[in-house]
Structure 1
Amino acid sequence: MAAVDAAAVQRMTEALFIERGLRSTGSTRFWGLLVLASVIASAGVVADSTATVIGAMIVAPLMTPILGSALALVLAERSQVMRCALLVVGGALAVVAVGMLLGWIAAPPDEFASNSQVSSRISPRLIDLLAALATGTVGAFALVRTDISDTLPGVAIAISLVPPLAVTGLLVTVGRFHDAGESALLFATNVAAIVATGTVVFLVYGIRGAAQDAGLSVGRLRGRTLAAVAAVVLLIAVPLTTGTVTVARDRALAADARPVAERWAATGKWQIASVEARNGIVVIGVLGLPPQPAPTVLRAALDRNGMRDADLELHLVGGRTHWCPSDTDTCTVEQSARS
């Protein structure tokens, strides 16, 4: 594998290190595109439009300071590391703020309970970390190798940085704080993976030597810096492991609950629209005409079939929601889904 030359390093630093000053060309481009991408992503999530969300992924410029952080770490440029990190944090907060604003304007009555764009980003797993590591590697590789730079739009789509933050903002407005934290965790997973893989790729390609040849400032790279990057990735893996176990458990719970729910609905000629489980809560959607079957009967049927420890959230046509806690034989009626 050939090392990069001084010209390539100069090109990379110009591309990744955004100039100081809010009125600089790099800063105005970054913040302008970021705000627009935030609006597009938030609107796409509210509308449950995959195409719109993909458009936001392509427009969003957050990959620049994240890869810039990796390059600054390799060059041991502390001031650039801090500047890139602040841009990432500030940019993330800006996206969340835009999401909150659109959430206050257009939050649906069901608090995004049936939104596929939201549900796909609130259960991060280890497989998401693996995908992020692979995608981050491709992104850094494409930056080093100009002959494959045309893959960068695909990397932007695969890594998904802005949509999880938009989901975080939208969920905060409706009080789903746990799920908002999960979508923020997905963003943190992607950031950690990009920084880690970018650091490795830049080291493998001999960026430090080429930077010295280009007359750039190169500090002393300490082993503890690389250890800290690895530790962050491992730290992120802990909640992702828990999430993986939770998702597997919820899938098994939903599979067990479906036949029980279908037998219960058949007694009143109703139809089961959906059965899923979220963090140990069985969530069932039901369609049909009055009279409705008794929710307490379904609660009892779940108990008899080994699901006594699972809470039940039952969505009936007309917007009513019945909440049936575990270890009880009563249900309460609510106007919207519990978060």
Structure 2
Amino acid sequence: MPSVDAATLRRMSDALFIEKGLRSPGSTRFWGLLVLASVIASAGVVGDSTATVIGAMIVAPLMTPILGSALALVLADRSQVVRCVMLVFGGALAVVAVGMLLGWIAAPPDSFASNSQVTSRISPRLIDLLAALATGTVGAFALVRADISDTLPGVAIAISLVPPLAVTGLLLTVGRYHDAGESTLLFATNVAAIVATGTIVFLVFGVRGVAQESDFAVGRFHGGALAAVVGLILLIAVPLTTGTITVARDRSLAADARPVAEKWAATGKWQIASVEGRNGVVVIGVLGLPPQPAPTALRAALDRNGMRDADLELHLVGGRTHWCPADTDTCTVRDSAIG
């Protein structure tokens, strides 16, 4: 059975357990990098820049206290568990706050409706949980095995921690509360997966046995702790299953709506910039010069093509948003996107 030695365990604890005190080297490094990563991620989302968001993933230090929680659980060190959890919770709130600040400064007129960085993080699915479990396993394995620690930057890119929180903050500023909750769910999914897989990897590598033979504080490990982690994974899997079904339905809805929207836009020589389904709502972005085609005509066209039950959210150039509810022949103008 694979195992670690005392030196490896000391290296792991030094890397994962951040010192107490805001002025300690570990704390200043953690909070400094976290704030900078939050700014980078939020700016990358606002600018719809994948490269910038990836840069934030590499800089962000949130993986440290999350894996620290797993190590503290294995060691049954209650004080470290509480400290790591508080760091994760406080760090998450800090990222959301930075996202909200940048959202107040630079939110676009369409409330991020056409932003690919936002869209990719507001529909978590079971496949995201599977990817997070695999990535968390690699991260814990790389921490245990110093000879493969070069994979950690790749793990930081693969696991999405700071960007979903930045999206949450940005969406809160524009009133898209449901979507903000979805991006938070993605973050929670990744955290739960890292803690679960980290705990299992550390147990498999015999971390507790080595700690007991060394000078580490080791408490009594209760099976209930592991059961709680597994239960958290199963609990998160429920909304992710719902999300998987919703995404499949929305993709079908968008595929049906696109040809109808393109035919409607062609009457006024406008162009369809985007068509997507969002929780059963058809969301369409349109570009062109005045005069604009009538939104009510699109609503009627969708009704004729079997989409009578779907609400319509129409974004026109200049930031105007038309809301056309299902089973009606009227549309109202709204200043921001519907969440």
**Superposed pair shares fold, TM > 0.5:** yes
What is the match of residue 211 of structure 1?
A: 211
- Retained in 2: the 8 A contact 1:10–1:211? no
Q: TM-score, normalised by structure 2?
A: 0.97
Offset, 1:319: 3.1
Q: Say if 2:114 is the partner of 1:114.
A: yes
Query: Which residue identity does 1:272 align to in structure 2?
Result: I
The residue correspondences of 1:192-211 to structure 2 (distance < 5 A) are: 192-211=192-211
Most deviating of 327-336 and 165-174: 327-336
Change (3 A) 1:318 1:165: closer
Query: Which residue identity does 2:25 align to in structure 1?
Result: T
**Deviations 1:15-51 (Å, cap 9, x if unpaired)?**
1111111111111111111111111111111111111
Offset, 1:75: 0.7
The residue correspondences of 1:134-145 to structure 2 (distance < 5 A) are: 134-145=134-145
- Retained in 2: the 8 A contact 1:122–1:183? yes
Q: Say if 2:223 is the partner of 1:257.
A: no
Query: Which residue identity does 2:12 align to in structure 1?
Result: M
CA RMSD of aligned residues (A): 1.3
Most deviating of 268-277 and 204-213: 268-277
What is the match of residue 296 of structure 1?
A: 296
Most deviating of 80-89 and 295-304: 295-304
Provide structure 2 residue ranges, at least 5 long, that are not aligned to the other structure: none
Q: Say if 2:63 is the partner of 1:48.
A: no
**Deviations 1:110-137 (Å, cap 9, x if unpaired)?**
1111111111111111111000000000
Most deviating of 291-300 and 75-84: 291-300
Provide structure 1 residue ranges, at least 5 long, that are not aligned to the other structure: none
Most deviating of 197-206 and 258-267: 258-267
What is the match of residue 167 of structure 1?
A: 167
| CA distance, structure 2, for counterparts of residue 92 and residue 104 of structure 1 | 19
Most deviating of 17-26 and 130-139: 17-26
- Retained in 1: the 8 A contact 2:109–2:318? no
| CA distance, structure 1, for counterparts of residue 107 and residue 267 of structure 2 | 35
Most deviating of 165-174 and 66-75: 165-174
Most deviating of 164-173 and 292-301: 292-301
Most deviating of 328-337 and 9-18: 328-337
Q: TM-score, normalised by structure 1?
A: 0.97
- Retained in 1: the 8 A contact 2:254–2:275? yes
Offset, 1:274: 1.8
Offset, 1:265: 2.4
Offset, 1:153: 0.4
What is the match of residue 242 of structure 2?
A: 242
Percent of residue pairs bearing the same amino acid type: 86
Offset, 1:288: 3.3
What is the match of residue 57 of structure 1?
A: 57
